[in-house]
């Protein structure tokens, strides 16, 4: 088979990602990111048997939509969506408009040992400068980890987007001190050219 040109490769990649965009539109998801969480769920089975879930960086809301879909008995669970950007209401989801930096500890919303699952798909607005964006993303991931450590209950789970920043290795090593199982996972719905990868942390040990 002949080697593809750069523009052919770009076209194929775009076509690839459009499949998820189209699927999301048809299924009523607000963003194609929904498929990343669905793939994480298929592999790691993290979404069931949780009472209190936090979705960090939730706007426009497709991960929260997946959470609602997967937890049909909404009277038994609480889903909190947090973002600095607004989010159109989702039935069964409580939206908190806050910057993660201001709810890391000692806030009015959560108690210690109260959460079963913390998800973070937070990403900074792109500056167009790769290293700056990656450094900002690492900083958000570190905050998400601190939040998870502060509020997860025993055996809790944490999922966090990483974008290839210099500090990502430190974040992974820190997570290893608190969780029994640590995995890195790249969903097929994540753009191949992106450095995006998800840190999956299972079985939180809050006895540190
Ligand atoms: C990739 S989007 C999340 C998409 C979302 N998971 C979905 O499926 O609809 C990243 C989000 O992180 C949010 N974000 C960035 N910095 C934040 C911060 N400091 N605190 C809270 N959210 C933040 C952005 O506003 C943005 O909405």
What one-character-per-residue DSSP string does 88-144 give?
A: ---TTEEEEE--GGGSSSS-SS--TT-EEEEEE---PPP-S-HHHHHHHHHHHHHHH
Rounded to whole angstroms, how far apart are CA atoms 158 and 156?
Answer: 7
Ligand 1 atom closest to the Cα of residue 140 is: 19
Q: Which residues contact 4 (CB under 8 A, 6 or more apart)?
A: 12
Q: Of 38-42, 50-54, 74-78, 146-150, which gets the smallest average pLDDT?
A: 74-78
Position 208 pLDDT exceeds 90: no
DSSP 194: S
- The structural domains of the chain, ordered by start, are 6-204 (3.40.50.150)
Contact 53, 80 (CB under 8 A): yes
Quick one: how far is CA 82 from the chain centroid?
11
Rounded to whole angstroms, how far apart are CA atoms 136 and 130?
Answer: 10
Q: Is the CB of 29 under 6 A from ligand 1?
A: no
Q: Is the CB of 61 under 6 A from ligand 1?
A: yes
Ligand 1 atom closest to the Cα of residue 37 is: 8
Residue 99's pLDDT band (cuts 50, 70, 90)? very high
**What mean pLDDT value characterizes the chain?**
91
Note if 23 is an active site residue.
no
Rounded to whole angstroms, how far apart are CA atoms 141 and 149?
Answer: 12
Burial of 98 (0-12, 13-18, 19+ CB in 10 A): middle
Residue range 7-20: mean pLDDT, rounded: 63
Q: In the prediction, which pLDDT does 130 show? A: 87
160-186: pLDDT as tens digits:
999 998 899 999 999 999 999 999 999
Q: Is the CB of 121 under 6 A from ligand 1?
A: yes
- Give the gyration radius of the chain's Cα atoms: 17
Residue 19's pLDDT band (cuts 50, 70, 90)? confident
Q: Which residues contact 55 (CB under 8 A, 6 or more apart)?
A: 63, 64, 67, 79, 80, 81, 82, 93, 119, 121
């Amino acid at each position: 088979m002949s080697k593809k040109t750069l523009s052919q490769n770009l076209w194929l990649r775009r076509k690839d990602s459009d499949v998820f965009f189209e699927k999301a539109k048809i299924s009523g998801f607000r963003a194609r990111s929904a498929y990343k969480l669905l793939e994480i769920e298929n592999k790691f089975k993290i979404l069931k048997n949780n009472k209190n879930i936090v979705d960090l960086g939730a706007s426009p809301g497709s991960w929260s939509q997946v959470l609602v879909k997967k937890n049909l008995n909404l009277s038994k669970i609480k889903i909190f969506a947090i973002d600095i950007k607004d989010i159109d209401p989702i039935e069964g989801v409580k939206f908190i408009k806050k910057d993660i930096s201001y709810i890391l500890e000692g806030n009015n919303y959560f108690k210690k040992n109260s959460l079963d699952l913390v998800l973070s798909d937070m990403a900074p607005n792109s500056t167009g400068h790769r290293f700056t964006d990656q450094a900002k993303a690492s900083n958000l991931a570190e905050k998400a980890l601190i939040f998870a450590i502060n509020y997860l209950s025993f055996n809790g789970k944490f999922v966090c987007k990483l974008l290839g920043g210099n500090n990502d290795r430190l974040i992974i090593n820190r997570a290893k001190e608190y969780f029994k199982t640590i995995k890195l996972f790249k969903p097929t719905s994540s753009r191949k050219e992106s450095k995006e990868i998800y840190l999956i942390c299972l079985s939180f040990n809050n006895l540190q």
